Amino acid sequence: MKGDVYLLKYANPNVKTEDVQSILVDNIYTNPTTDQVNIELDEYYPEVCIMLYDEGGVICEKRIYHLVMTIYLNLPDVPDAYQLIIKNNYYSKSHLVIRR
């Protein structure tokens, strides 16, 4: 009917909040760091893209990795707060990384 409003709430009982939190990235350490951050993925992915942005939104680093579970990322020599984006074809995660 004209003017009727229907709401649909989708709930998947098989997906829990803690499951969503651990998708793609298991751990990022050492943060804050002095030079390098290590990224542990939750599984081997065919392709993972890592992008690092400075506080001004300028991209400092962009790399693509294939079939790895740990990524060692060297940060620029300038102490700053960086936005780290980790993504593949299905998921994207954002993390704040601080270099002292």
Closest C-alpha among 42, 50, 55 to residue 81: 55
Q: How many helices (H) and strands (E) does the chain have?
A: 1, 7
For 19, 54, 61, 67, the CA distances from 23, given in Å and listed in that order, are 7, 25, 23, 16
With 80 as the cut, is the pLDDT of residue 4 above it?
no
Tell me the whole-structure pTM to 2 decimals. Answer: 0.74
Which two tokens mark 74?
A: 């060297």
| Residue, of 21 and 83, whose pLDDT is higher | 83
Closest C-alpha among 61, 38, 40, 42 to residue 50: 61
- Mean pLDDT for the chain overall: 83
Lowest pLDDT segment from 11-15, 50-54, 67-71, 83-87: 11-15
Backbone angles phi, psi at 95, to 5 degrees: -140, 145
Lowest pLDDT segment from 19-23, 31-35, 41-45, 95-99: 19-23
pLDDT of residue 62: 96
- The CA R_g of the chain, rounded to the nearest whole Å, is 18
With 50 as the cut, is the pLDDT of residue 15 above it?
no
pLDDT of residue 59: 94
Backbone angles phi, psi at 93, to 5 degrees: -125, 145
